[in-house]
Amino acid sequence: MDEDILRTVEKISGKLSRDCYYDLCCLVKAAIPRMPGTFSMETLYPEAQRYSEKEKDTLAKALSRAAEDIWDCGDRAELQKLFQRVLWEKPTPKDLVRVLALSVWRRRKAVRPQVRYQVLETRHPRRFGFSGESWEPERHLVVLLPGREQAEVEQLVRRLNQRQIPIQEAEEEPPVGGSSSALRRVCYRNCFIWAALASSVCSSRSARFRISRFPPA
């Protein structure tokens, strides 16, 4: 999970060790690309499932538990600072997600680089790749690299972040070294995905992967 999201939630949290807080972070992560606008929870849950891998009803219950715990046991002063007003009653779960997402979005907008690359790790089988995202214009890229070692991919991600290679360039040909003829380019949910043609990791658009870490530049 993104460190800035965790820090933002931690400031207002009650018992942070509870699983419901991770699910709250997943929902906040899914809401950030929609900022500074609004959203419906019905459209947000499917996006959050990409990070938590839990069912919609489970996420909804976890969000309610987190909102309850924050109100009963959390830092009320930090919560009111986040909402920028005095709170006389418990915020709705949706309002809580939005204000957390908006807070993270504003900080990222103020300090973020134009492009950010992160290491990806598939679970079954365990393989590595990287993702890239830019905000203006908004673009996303995923490259899966079967056969590459973790340290090698982390070094590549550091280099990409240092050089700030535009996503537009990486979309046309991923900067992975060697020949790209063994890679296939598909577009899924507005995200450009490169994957090995012979790899079972991305044999279809249902491939599952997660961001494992964000190496420092």
Q: Which of 56, 90, 111 is the last residue of a domain?
A: 111
Question: Which of 103 and 2 is assigned the larger pLDDT?
Answer: 103
Residue-averaged pLDDT of the chain: 76
- The pLDDT tens digits of the residues spanning 141-185 come to 888 877 788 888 888 888 888 877 777 776 665 555 544 444 444
Residue in this structure with the two tokens 């909804």, named with its chain if needed: 60
- Write the DSSP string, 169-195: HHHHS-SSSS--TTEEEEEETTEEEEE
* pLDDT given for residue 200 in this prediction: 36
- The pLDDT tens digits of the residues spanning 85-108 come to 998 999 999 999 999 999 998 888
Is residue 145 within 8 Å of residue 127, measured between CB atoms?
yes
* pLDDT given for residue 54 in this prediction: 86
Is residue 32 within 8 Å of residue 97, measured between CB atoms?
no
* pLDDT given for residue 63 in this prediction: 92
Query: How far apart (Å, rounded) are the C-alpha atoms in residues 149 and 157?
Result: 13
| 28, 62, 89 from 72: Cα distances, Å | 20, 15, 11
Looking at the fold, whether 136 and 192 belong to one and the same domain comes out as yes
Q: What are the beta bridge partners of residue 124?
A: none
In the numeric block, which tokens belong to residue 27?
């929902």
In the predicted structure, residue 2 carries a pLDDT above the cut 50: yes
Total domain count, the chain: 2
Of the ranges 70-74, 115-119, 163-167, which one carries the lowest mean pLDDT score? 163-167
Query: How far apart (Å, rounded) are the C-alpha atoms in residues 202 and 195?
Result: 6
Looking at the fold, whether 25 and 102 belong to one and the same domain comes out as yes
3-state SS, one letter per residue, for 56-80: HHHHHHHHHHHHHHHHHHCCHHHHH
Looking at the fold, whether 90 and 130 belong to one and the same domain comes out as no
Q: In b/e form, how buried is each residue of 129-164, taking b as 16+ CB within 10 angstroms? A: bbbbbbbeeebbbbbbbbebeeeebbebbbebbeee
* pLDDT given for residue 192 in this prediction: 46
* pLDDT given for residue 188 in this prediction: 41
In the predicted structure, residue 14 carries a pLDDT above the cut 60: yes
The CATH number assigned to the domain holding 31 equals: 1.10.10
For 50, the domain range is 3-111
> Containing H/E element for 115?
strand 115-121
